[in-house]
Structure 1
Amino acid sequence: MSNMQTLRFYVTPSHNCSYLPDQKAKTLFVDPQMRISTDSYSQLSELGFRRSGGHIYRPHCEGCNACQSIRIPVELFKPSKSQKRILNKNRDIQVIRKFPIMDHEYFDLYKSYIDQRHADGDMYPPTPEQFHQFLVEGSIDSWFYEFRDTDKKLIAVAVTDHLHQDMSALYTFYDPAEEHRSLGTFAILWQISEARRRGMNYLYLGYWVKACRKMNYKTAFRPLEMLIDGHWTHYRQE
């Protein structure tokens, strides 16, 4: 099992940026052949790294710092009026924790979500192999949180990593027909509550890019901390 002193890192060649059009990007990866301990993964998260399947990475672009790592201090978080309405709207939902696996129920929901919400993204078209590589492979202490309605129908899945003292919200996919529930926001609110219940310090939300409209929802959770020049600072909306 590798520790922080023995980790190896690689930088990718320039590639098209996933967030900003007409921009090139580079990514710093931890060697995917190395077994990463929860301790090392927790430290890497503190340094702004993120997990996608079997890859732990961080943007490494020359002359650009648009991708900002963000996290929520769960003990300080207070839901807004609109977030309270979303919590009330979803009081009927039951949440069940499951070990990450590839099965038809999960994939059918994932496919519907990608097809209808992200057909313009790099995860389209979704395949079972892609689902497995993205959400099942590489898990250290990772869980699928199932969100089911009163009829036991699966309407959302939040994929979450448990670190030593924090949680990391990796990805949420949900039934587009249930859009009125605001399930993406509800999943984050639920994970904040779960992290607080477990005595965790932070819920990591990955990266925020100011110029990327699809990421605007992340700044609705307050207070929010942002990693700037190696230091976590409170985000203040301009």
Structure 2
Amino acid sequence: MNPKNAQQSIDFCMLDYACSYLPEQKTRMYYRYMRHASKTLVSELIQRGWRRFGSYFFHPICAACNGCKSLRIDARRFTLSRSQKRVMKKNRATMLTVRKPGMTREHLDLYNRYHKHKSETSGWKYTPITPHLYYENFVDGAHEFGKEVLYFIDDKLVGVDLIDLTDDGISAIYFYYDPAYEKYSLGTYSLLMQIHFAKQMGLRWIYLGYWVNGCRSFAYKSNFKPMEMLDGFPPLQEEPRWVPFDTKLCDSPPSTDS
């Protein structure tokens, strides 16, 4: 680790709280707050299963469960399925803009509409996001590697995809969209565009974040192949070990410690 980054980082963890993915489990997150993380350091952390929101980097350290598995798509070997080709066709007129992350009233309204919809259809807890919290999570800490991809249909903002460009791939941070445009399958389309960007830039991997067996919100991730899964959360001093993702895991419960 760069000594400058090390001196300016703060490590801490949360107390156990109810898991959003597996209601019967408790979760605990390990955090590292860094105001000046370099692209190289971010790449090393993402390769080892960390995630980034703003200037906060984190990964789970749950005592009784290791159900969170880090996944990455091999963009170099990816080919479109029949259903994904249909998604591409539906979005032929969808316009994209890639830029540095920002925050407008349009962003906040879209984010809140998406989360309110999810609270009604998927049981998500809904609290309108404040400008301060949105900035802290999605604008701050982006530096030169963080980007947002804006999706427009008929000149209306319908989707926002937050990503990091790492040394070897693209890290998917968060995507939200207008529920009124659900028929366009914008979540799937945004990932297909990430794969397209990666191929254009000569990057191999799309880091998808975590997959949890039994969590409906993550089920779509198994539709993108080929994929690899990270073995644990190795420290920076160790090489990460990625193995082929076994779809049989979809039918098995997360392993736990007694």
User: Please, what TM-score do these two structures have when normalized by structure 2?
Assistant: 0.85
My pick for the range that moved more, 111-120 or 204-213, is 111-120
User: Quick one: structure 1 residues 131 and 122, their matched pair in 2 at CA, closer, same or farther if it must change by over 3 Å?
Assistant: farther
Distance 1:26 1:109 in 2: 29
**Contact 1:3 1:36 (C-alpha < 8 Å) held by counterparts:** no
User: Quick one: structure 1 residues 226 and 51, their matched pair in 2 at CA, closer, same or farther if it must change by over 3 Å?
Assistant: same
Distance 1:128 1:169 in 2: 22
Q: Deviations over 1:175-210 (max 9, x none)?
A: 100110000010001111111111111111110001
Instruction: Tell me the equivalent position of 1:25.
Output: 27
Name the % identity: 35
Q: Which runs of 5+ in 2 are unaligned?
A: 233-239, 249-258
**Contact 2:29 2:59 (C-alpha < 8 Å) held by counterparts:** yes
Instruction: Tell me the equivalent position of 1:137.
Output: 140
**Contact 2:116 2:126 (C-alpha < 8 Å) held by counterparts:** no
1:85-234 → structure 2 map (5 Å cutoff): 85-118=86-119, 120-122=123-125, 124-140=127-143, 141-149=145-153, 151-229=154-232, 231-234=241-244
Q: Deviations over 1:122-142 (max 9, x none)?
A: 563323222222211221311
**Contact 1:70 1:227 (C-alpha < 8 Å) held by counterparts:** yes
User: Quick one: structure 1 residues 129 and 184, their matched pair in 2 at CA, closer, same or farther if it must change by over 3 Å?
Assistant: same
Distance 2:35 2:96 in 1: 33
User: Please, what TM-score do these two structures have when normalized by structure 1?
Assistant: 0.92
Instruction: Tell me the equivalent position of 1:53.
Output: 54
Distance 2:61 2:193 in 1: 31
Distance 2:135 2:124 in 1: 18
My pick for the range that moved more, 169-178 or 129-138, is 129-138
Equivalences, count: 236
User: Quick one: structure 1 residues 164 and 118, their matched pair in 2 at CA, closer, same or farther if it must change by over 3 Å?
Assistant: farther
My pick for the range that moved more, 89-98 or 128-137, is 128-137
